[in-house]
């Protein structure tokens, strides 16, 4: 199985109450790819500038990520984001965004990228997401977005959403997108647009999964993995998506409810490792064994036994 992801490949400058980094590898497609690389073959698609060097390529390759579809634009500068977090780590404050080579990006997927079984459209302008989707007929596809596109490109975003199988956004964005305050109703409204699954990301509160079946099994939720040390939440949502879609692609596209729930678990685990240190620092030296240990710990933290009558 193989997974293609399109999205930003960037440098980030980040300051949190627990430290700062002036320039580090970042971007949605990077965080996603690193997380997914533990489960399957990942191919990030996107442009970078001259400033994106061998060191960055090597970090990705060391995790088995296929970098052929990262297009280096001569004379260009890579996407750059500067932001900070105050004590409420759930809220990112953007101080600067420089699109760089992303401003001129016209996605052209290689034959290998087009042939992916799974496609993830990370948060970029929705017309670009549609251009990529049109080139890749992957059997399972997902999409992330943000409030900016709901504000300034809503029609295009709705068209993009209609073309994917699974929407993965923050719960506030699901409400904003549908104009429906009740999250269960909002998720149902999204599924009426096309997707058969909706993942609501909820920051420290974890994530919820809505699926089409319409009975009790149509809702599943996991808390965030409890951590005493969170240093930098940047990329948590992308790492979640990488764990989720990476695991699904790596398990031969098994999309039954039980496997979707396991994928939620892996997404939660990858997001939790991501926030323990700055940028890609923790995930880039993570071992699969650590992931599976934390996955099992998460299971122990969320299981409870049935009615007392049935315990005897």
CB of 219 to a copy of itself, least distance (A): 5
Q: Which stretch binds a copy of itself (CB under 8 A): 27-35, 121-129, 156-164, 223-231?
A: 223-231
Q: Which stretch binds a copy of itself (CB under 8 A): 96-104, 112-120, 215-223, 281-289?
A: 215-223
- The tokens describing 65, both together, are 């990520």
Among 54, 289, 305, 312, binds a copy of itself (CB under 8 A): 305
Q: Which stretch binds a copy of itself (CB under 8 A): 54-62, 72-80, 93-101, 177-185?
A: 177-185
| 258 near a copy of itself, judged by CB under 8 A | yes
Q: What span, in angstroms and rounded, lies between the C-alpha atoms of 78 and 61?
A: 19
CB of 101 to a copy of itself, least distance (A): 37
| 92 near a copy of itself, judged by CB under 8 A | no
Q: What span, in angstroms and rounded, lies between the C-alpha atoms of 32 and 119?
A: 12
- The tokens describing 293, both together, are 């240990």
Scanning the chain, the segments in alpha helix (DSSP H) are 28-36, 54-62, 111-114, 126-135, 147-152, 154-162, 171-178, 183-193, 236-250, 257-276, 288-302
> Whose CA is closest to 17, among 205, 232, 226, 228?
232
3-state secondary structure of 25: strand
Please identify, using beta-carbon distances, which residue of 81 and 266 lies nearer to a copy of itself: 266
| 228 near a copy of itself, judged by CB under 8 A | yes
> Whose CA is closest to 295, among 247, 255, 253, 234?
247
Please identify, using beta-carbon distances, which residue of 43 and 175 lies nearer to a copy of itself: 175
Q: What span, in angstroms and rounded, lies between the C-alpha atoms of 75 and 107?
A: 18
- The tokens describing 91, both together, are 């809220």
| 166 near a copy of itself, judged by CB under 8 A | no
CB of 116 to a copy of itself, least distance (A): 21
Please identify, using beta-carbon distances, which residue of 47 and 233 lies nearer to a copy of itself: 233
**Contacts to a copy of itself by CB under 8 A:** 87-89, 181-185, 188, 202, 204-206, 208, 216-217, 219-223, 226-230, 251, 258-259, 261-262, 264-265, 292, 295-297, 299-308, 311
């Amino acid at each position: 199985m193989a997974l293609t992801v399109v999205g930003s490949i960037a440098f980030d400058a980040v300051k949190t109450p627990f430290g700062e980094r002036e320039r580090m590898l970042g971007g949605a497609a990077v965080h996603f790819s690193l997380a997914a690389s533990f489960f399957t073959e990942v191919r990030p698609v996107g442009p970078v500038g001259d400033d994106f060097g061998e060191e960055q390529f090597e970090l990705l390759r060391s995790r088995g990520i296929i970098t052929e579809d990262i297009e280096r634009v001569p004379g260009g500068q890579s996407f750059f984001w500067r932001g900070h977090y105050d004590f409420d780590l759930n809220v990112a404050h953007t101080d600067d965004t420089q699109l760089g080579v992303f401003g001129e990006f016209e996605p052209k997927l290689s034959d290998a990228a087009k042939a992916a079984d799974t496609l993830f459209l990370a948060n970029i302008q929705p017309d670009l997401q549609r251009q990529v989707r049109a080139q890749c007929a992957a059997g399972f596809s997902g999409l992330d977005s943000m409030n900016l596109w709901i504000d300034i490109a809503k029609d295009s975003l709705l068209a993009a959403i209609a073309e994917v199988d699974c929407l993965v956004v923050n719960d506030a964005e699901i409400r904003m997108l549908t104009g429906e305050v009740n999250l269960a109703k909002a998720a149902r409204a999204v599924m009426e647009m096309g997707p058969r699954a909706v993942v609501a990301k909820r920051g420290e509160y974890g994530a919820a999964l809505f699926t089409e079946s319409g009975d009790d099994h149509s809702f599943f939720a996991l808390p965030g993995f409890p951590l005493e040390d969170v240093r930098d939440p940047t990329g948590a949502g992308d790492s979640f998506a990488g764990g989720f879609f990476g695991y699904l692609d790596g398990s031969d596209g098994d999309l039954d409810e039980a496997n979707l729930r396991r994928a939620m678990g892996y997404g939660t685990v990858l997001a939790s490792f991501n926030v323990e240190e700055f940028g890609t620092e923790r995930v880039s030296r993570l071992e699969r064994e650590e992931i599976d240990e934390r996955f099992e710990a998460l299971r122990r933290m969320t299981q409870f036994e049935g009615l007392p009558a049935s315990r005897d």
